[in-house]
A and B are shown apart, each in its own frame.
Chain A
Amino acid sequence: MSMLDVKDLTAGYGDIPVVRQISLAVEPGEILLIGGENGAGKSTLLRAISGFNTPASGTVMLDGVDVTGQPPEQTAKQGLRLVLDNHRVFPELSVHDNLRLGQAAGRRDPDSFAKSLEQIHDVFPILKEKEKQYARDLSGGQQQILALGQAFVAQPKVLLCDEPSMGVAQMLLPPILSFLRKWAESGTAVVIVEQHLKITQPYTDRAIIISRGEVALECPSQELDARLADYNATRMASASHG
């Protein structure tokens, strides 16, 4: 049984379907990369899995438990944590308080919080240095780290990460991605939605490409480059005929 098991999910906004009949599964310790162009439905897919949009049909199983259509705060408590795109943190709270609120989705126990905090500070010392500053004063990349740190505090079973590279300086990406890699290897199932596939792909195990709300191709990550080249060649050929 996979940690996250999504079957035939159709969802959108109101009655606007954006993703249709998508199935995917992620094992503990594995990173699944979801790619696709703007507007292909990647974010909508993550939002439907985590409960922000109620799916029109299909199921979402988390560690064997059906969580389809539950509100996001509830799925978060059950161990499925979505990190939204655009490095969203609580701007008017301090860095430390942002991390503190991470406990909302996990156990609120001072010891394990202190331990998680220590681990994050080890990987990203900047969060320790800026502990008392408002989150709004951090750079985009630092905010992304903070958002991930907040999710880490909750120790989720499944982590969904929407475009971690958005608004992040390039030099910060490798440390963020290797942090996610290590996190996954500790037994978490991780899904990363990303447009910047080239830089993300080496850190991931499998990849899915979504186009117009449907799965266009699926393969092990190392084959992605070759498969995409074929895929784009066919598409451009048909576009120039249209």
Chain B
Amino acid sequence: MNTQTITSSAQPRPETSSFDSDTQQLWLASGLLLITGIVPALFGNAYWEHSFQLMNIYIAVTVLQNWLFVDAGQKSFGQGVLLGLGAYGLAVASGVFDQPIAVGLFWGIVASAAGGLLFALPALRVQGFHLGFVTLSAAVVFPQLLLQMDDLTQGLNGISMPMRGLSEPLLLGVSTLSLLCTAAPIIALLFHYKMRRSRLGRRMRTAAESPEAARSLGIRPGVMSSLAFLIASVGTGICGLLFVPAVSFVTPQSFLMDVSFIFFFAVVVGGRGQLLGPVVGIWAVFTIPNILLVDLAHYKPLVYGFITLFVVILFPDGIVGTIEEFRQKKRKAGGGERAFHLTALTDWLSALPDHKAAAEDEPILTVRGATKRFGSVVAVDRVDFDLRPGEVHGLIGANGSGKTSLLNILNGFSRMNEGSYHFAGRDVSKATAPAIAERGLGRTFQTPRVFPSFSVWNNVRVGLDARETEMPAGLEQILREMEAEHADGMPTLLSHGQRRILEVVRVVLKDSPVVLFDEPAAGLSGEEREEFSKLVKLLSRKLGTAVVLVEHDLELVWSIADRITVLETGSVIASGRPADLVRDPAVQHLFVGGAHVDA
């Protein structure tokens, strides 16, 4: 048995994470924003001061769009609408109806949140290009509506609303407005930075990267995307509030389709998901063309259209992303990755006392008469299935015999047409996957769901994020070591087998009394198979975890299962202890050369 210890744990953890350069990018971006926001005012240059105020508001909007696009996986072409709703909310309430500014601010936020709801509601149901079209439609419709509802918006004339007090110098000639406009994108960046490092942020991104994996961890992807839209909407609406004093008046012309395109394109050109991206992106598609084409305003859309097309085809990672990738490559050439091992975890498990679960315990999971049809095909046909705490239950059968379909019923991905399903004392026949996951069921997938945008440690951590129970004392120390070890690890450098092991650790940390493994041994090396078998045995013996194991590797199943069920065309054809089953013709059938074609 392989018991090599990890020698690198003695290394001190680097100050800043080198998995990503978020921290450096945050500093760099904030520095640039401070310079552009403050320096022109120090020199009393009113033109640049004003230009950079607007630019920095745009950057703040783009930062939120970047977060929405990458960290929450939602594509929106309508951020200009939300900016406009914030601005018009304030301008209509305070500029037209003479309400106090505080009331105006309130209405601005309400208006942008309401607009966000229009995006958020369909996001509960659909994804991808559907939402692209919804948001694009909104961006087309919004200026039309502003013109049409002229008793509120004063139509094409717009609403003039100078707020001179804000432009008075406050400190060294810098006005309150300039400070606010500089603070807005920095706060947005901090939000993005902090969100990435929070449980909610990780769960949102998990939902964006793999909705199935998210649901198996108790996350509801629709809720996550709606919430992301709402947060980004309110944030963008707040930028809209700042837009009013920065420009002194609002007209429908300020919120045409082009504005929304600029935000979206800036994200792409700057580099999707890069913290510094929005700053560089707005400079590239908005500020520089504005300066260079000051007399040729009509050429602006052409220029940013071409820049974006050029970037998406030649440098899909954007400006910052391409530089970042270059740096990462150099780093990769430098040092090797640390392998991901289970040794610490299995050692800890081995030291635990045996779990008191006994074979005569009540089943934790009971399925009766489960039937699942897809059209005329019966994938699962009146299956009865029991699982007791601590039991390792192998599920075998030919391709298409219904193993994965049954697994999907157990974790709630698909709902039975008939039959009942009780789990942990409750009827969950109609429960959703996240609800079943929350009651304590975990699963892995045929292709491991490992997220390249997370470090190795964060990939494991999404399991911890889903944990509902207290952490046992000994485990915390192991996790600290694992964090020190893998906080910077790039999952793309892990071998396939290690990714599987990583996914297994994730499910173990979620602390699930029941774990479903879907072909866990496929692609594992001999050594990794050993490691995996040992872990499964320890889980059942020490933690009392009940395991369902769908696996083609019959030797592996025979060596670790307490009970084996054989499926054929959706029905159970045999079930029993491994030793008893080995001579069963139904099982012989599955061994190579043992297959007779029965009538």
Instruction: Tell me, in angstroms, the Cα distance from A240 to B560 when the chains sit together.
Output: 10
Contact present for A197 and B558 (CB under 8 Å): no
Judge if B522 is at the interface, Cβ distance under 8 Å. yes
Instruction: Tell me, in angstroms, the Cα distance from A15 to B491 when the chains sit together.
Output: 12
Instruction: Tell me, in angstroms, the Cα distance from A17 to B554 when the chains sit together.
Output: 20
Contact present for B591 and A39 (CB under 8 Å): no
Judge if B582 is at the interface, Cβ distance under 8 Å. yes
Contact present for B595 and A197 (CB under 8 Å): yes
Contact present for B597 and A199 (CB under 8 Å): yes
With a cutoff of 8 Å between Cβ atoms, the chain B residues found around residue A198 in the complex are 593, 595-597
Judge if B447 is at the interface, Cβ distance under 8 Å. yes
Could you give, for residues 567-599 of chain B, a 1 whenever the CB lies within 8 Å of some chain A CB and a 0 otherwise? 000000000000100100000001111111111
With a cutoff of 8 Å between Cβ atoms, the chain A residues found around residue B579 in the complex are 240
With a cutoff of 8 Å between Cβ atoms, the chain A residues found around residue B398 in the complex are 38, 195
For B, the interface residue count at a CB cutoff of 8 angstroms equals 27
Instruction: Tell me, in angstroms, the Cα distance from A197 to B596 when the chains sit together.
Output: 8
Known: A37-B590, A39-B519, A39-B522. A196 touches B555 (CB 8 A): no
The smallest beta-carbon distance between A29 and chain B, in angstroms, is 25
Judge if B542 is at the interface, Cβ distance under 8 Å. no
Instruction: Tell me, in angstroms, the Cα distance from A239 to B533 when the chains sit together.
Output: 13
With a cutoff of 8 Å between Cβ atoms, the chain A residues found around residue B144 in the complex are none
With a cutoff of 8 Å between Cβ atoms, the chain B residues found around residue A35 in the complex are 592-593
With a cutoff of 8 Å between Cβ atoms, the chain A residues found around residue B559 in the complex are 239, 242
Judge if B399 is at the interface, Cβ distance under 8 Å. yes
Judge if B196 is at the interface, Cβ distance under 8 Å. no
Instruction: Tell me, in angstroms, the Cα distance from A196 to B398 when the chains sit together.
Output: 11
Instruction: Tell me, in angstroms, the Cα distance from A229 to B594 when the chains sit together.
Output: 9
17 contacts between A and B (CB under 8 A): A16-B523, A39-B522, A39-B553, A40-B552, A86-B400, A170-B599, A196-B597, A198-B596, A199-B596, A209-B593, A211-B592, A225-B593, A228-B592, A232-B591, A238-B555, A239-B559, A242-B558
Judge if B496 is at the interface, Cβ distance under 8 Å. yes
Instruction: Tell me, in angstroms, the Cα distance from A183 to B66 when the chains sit together.
Output: 59
Judge if A101 is at the interface, Cβ distance under 8 Å. no
With a cutoff of 8 Å between Cβ atoms, the chain A residues found around residue B399 in the complex are 38, 166
The smallest beta-carbon distance between A150 and chain B, in angstroms, is 22
Contact present for B597 and A197 (CB under 8 Å): no
Contact present for B597 and A212 (CB under 8 Å): no
The smallest beta-carbon distance between B297 and chain A, in angstroms, is 46
With a cutoff of 8 Å between Cβ atoms, the chain B residues found around residue A196 in the complex are 595-597
Instruction: Tell me, in angstroms, the Cα distance from A178 to B495 when the chains sit together.
Output: 44
Contact present for A170 and B552 (CB under 8 Å): no
User: Which of A186-206 touch B at CB < 8 Å?
Assistant: 195-199
Contact present for A37 and B496 (CB under 8 Å): no
User: Which of A215-242 touch B at CB < 8 Å?
Assistant: 224-225, 228-229, 231-232, 235-236, 238-240, 242
Contact present for A38 and B496 (CB under 8 Å): no
Instruction: Tell me, in angstroms, the Cα distance from A235 to B588 when the chains sit together.
Output: 13
Instruction: Tell me, in angstroms, the Cα distance from A23 to B94 when the chains sit together.
Output: 79
Known: A17-B523, A37-B592, A232-B591. A239 touches B496 (CB 8 A): no
Q: Who on chain A is nearest to B588 by CB?
A: A232
Contact present for A12 and B523 (CB under 8 Å): yes
Q: Determine which of A12, A173, A197 lies in contact with B593 in the assembled complex, contact meaning CB atoms within 8 Å.
A: A197
With a cutoff of 8 Å between Cβ atoms, the chain B residues found around residue A12 in the complex are 496, 523
Q: Determine which of A15, A37, A173, A224 lies in contact with B552 in the assembled complex, contact meaning CB atoms within 8 Å.
A: A37
With a cutoff of 8 Å between Cβ atoms, the chain A residues found around residue B558 in the complex are 239-240, 242
Instruction: Tell me, in angstroms, the Cα distance from A195 to B519 when the chains sit together.
Output: 19
With a cutoff of 8 Å between Cβ atoms, the chain B residues found around residue A17 in the complex are 496, 523
With a cutoff of 8 Å between Cβ atoms, the chain B residues found around residue A170 in the complex are 597-599
Instruction: Tell me, in angstroms, the Cα distance from A240 to B282 when the chains sit together.
Output: 66
Could you give, for residues 522-545 of chain B, a 1 whenever the CB lies within 8 Å of some chain A CB and a 0 otherwise? 110000000000000000000000
With a cutoff of 8 Å between Cβ atoms, the chain B residues found around residue A13 in the complex are 447
Instruction: Tell me, in angstroms, the Cα distance from A88 to B389 when the chains sit together.
Output: 42
The smallest beta-carbon distance between A123 and chain B, in angstroms, is 21
Q: Who on chain B is nearest to A165 by CB?
A: B597
Instruction: Tell me, in angstroms, the Cα distance from A167 to B399 when the chains sit together.
Output: 10
With a cutoff of 8 Å between Cβ atoms, the chain A residues found around residue B597 in the complex are 165, 170, 173, 196, 198-199
User: Which of B334-393 touch A at CB < 8 Å?
Assistant: none
Judge if A36 is at the interface, Cβ distance under 8 Å. yes
The smallest beta-carbon distance between B597 and chain A, in angstroms, is 5
User: Which of B431-474 touch A at CB < 8 Å?
Assistant: 447
The smallest beta-carbon distance between A161 and chain B, in angstroms, is 16
Judge if A84 is at the interface, Cβ distance under 8 Å. no
Could you give, for residues 3-46 of chain A, a 1 whenever the CB lies within 8 Å of some chain B CB and a 0 otherwise? 00000000011011110000000000000000111111000000
Q: Who on chain A is nearest to B595 by CB?
A: A196
Contact present for B593 and A228 (CB under 8 Å): yes
Contact present for A16 and B496 (CB under 8 Å): yes
Instruction: Tell me, in angstroms, the Cα distance from A166 to B598 when the chains sit together.
Output: 13
Instruction: Tell me, in angstroms, the Cα distance from A213 to B398 when the chains sit together.
Output: 18
User: Which of B506-520 touch A at CB < 8 Å?
Assistant: 519
With a cutoff of 8 Å between Cβ atoms, the chain A residues found around residue B519 in the complex are 39
Contact present for B496 and A15 (CB under 8 Å): yes
With a cutoff of 8 Å between Cβ atoms, the chain B residues found around residue A195 in the complex are 398, 592, 595
With a cutoff of 8 Å between Cβ atoms, the chain A residues found around residue B590 in the complex are 37-38
The smallest beta-carbon distance between B337 and chain A, in angstroms, is 13
Contact present for A37 and B596 (CB under 8 Å): no
Instruction: Tell me, in angstroms, the Cα distance from A166 to B523 when the chains sit together.
Output: 24
With a cutoff of 8 Å between Cβ atoms, the chain A residues found around residue B552 in the complex are 37-40
Instruction: Tell me, in angstroms, the Cα distance from A38 to B398 when the chains sit together.
Output: 7
Contact present for B591 and A37 (CB under 8 Å): yes
Contact present for A37 and B523 (CB under 8 Å): no
The smallest beta-carbon distance between A38 and chain B, in angstroms, is 4
Contact present for A197 and B523 (CB under 8 Å): no
Instruction: Tell me, in angstroms, the Cα distance from A16 to B503 when the chains sit together.
Output: 15
Q: Who on chain B is nearest to A37 by CB?
A: B592
With a cutoff of 8 Å between Cβ atoms, the chain B residues found around residue A39 in the complex are 519, 522, 552-553
Q: Determine which of B495, B522, B555, B596 lies in contact with A242 in the assembled complex, contact meaning CB atoms within 8 Å.
A: B555
Task: Select the residue from A18, A38, A173, A224 with max chain B CB neighbours within 10 A.
Answer: A38
Instruction: Tell me, in angstroms, the Cα distance from A38 to B401 when the chains sit together.
Output: 12
The smallest beta-carbon distance between B550 and chain A, in angstroms, is 10
Instruction: Tell me, in angstroms, the Cα distance from A62 to B592 when the chains sit together.
Output: 29
Q: Who on chain B is nearest to A241 by CB?
A: B559
